Structures are given as structure tokens and as C-alpha cells.
Amino acid sequence: MANLKVDLLNELRNQKYYAEIELIRLASEPAMNYKNKIGLIDDVLTDLAMLNQKIGLAEMYFQEPVAAPAPAPVPAAPEASVTNPPVSAPLAGQSHGE
């Protein structure tokens, strides 16, 4: 599916690129009849609008599947080990810790 989307978008973008070049060519053509120029520019703008819509629809309908997020690791159960309680230091006036 990914190749289909990429190929389709490339084709539509190529068509859009050439339509934009044609628009610039028509707009800068000095020897063309003004009324014909307006009609042709209108046609090219219609094509550009359709291509923009097609590109948007292709991106919407051919979305990449979203991968499910990886599950969070389950913390290991704490080991029940026998620990010696901390030995406190002798307080002032004591000869040893009690």
C-alpha cells in the first residue's frame, strides 16, 4: 500500500508542477489574445485546484497504518530477601550501639 500511495502522490505532484509551469507561461505570453489567455488561465487554475484536492484526498485515504505502541515493561516482583536492619551509631554517652 505504501508504494501505491507514494506513486500516486508523485504522479499528482508531477501533474501539478507542469500545470504551474503552464500557468506561468500563459501569464507571461505577450502575443496571445487577451480573452483566450483569460480562458486558458482559468482552465489551468481549475486543473490546479483539482490536483490540490486530489493530493489532499490521496493523503487522507491512503494513510500509513499506525503501529501500536510497544507495551510498557512489567516491573519485576521484588525479591523477598532477608536484610539486616541498619546498625545505628552509638549516641553520645553510649559505649556501643543498642
Q: Give residue-wise pLDDT tens across range 30-39.
A: 999 999 999 9
Q: How many Cβ atoms are within 10 Å of 53's Cβ, its own excluded? A: 11
pTM higher than 0.75, yes or no? no
Residue-wise pLDDT for 4-63, tens only, equals: 999 999 999 999 999 999 999 999 999 999 999 999 999 999 999 999 999 999 999 988
- 3-state SS class at 52: helix
Q: How many Cβ atoms are within 10 Å of 22's Cβ, its own excluded? A: 16
How far is the first Cα of the chain from the last one, in angstroms, to the nearest whole number? 74
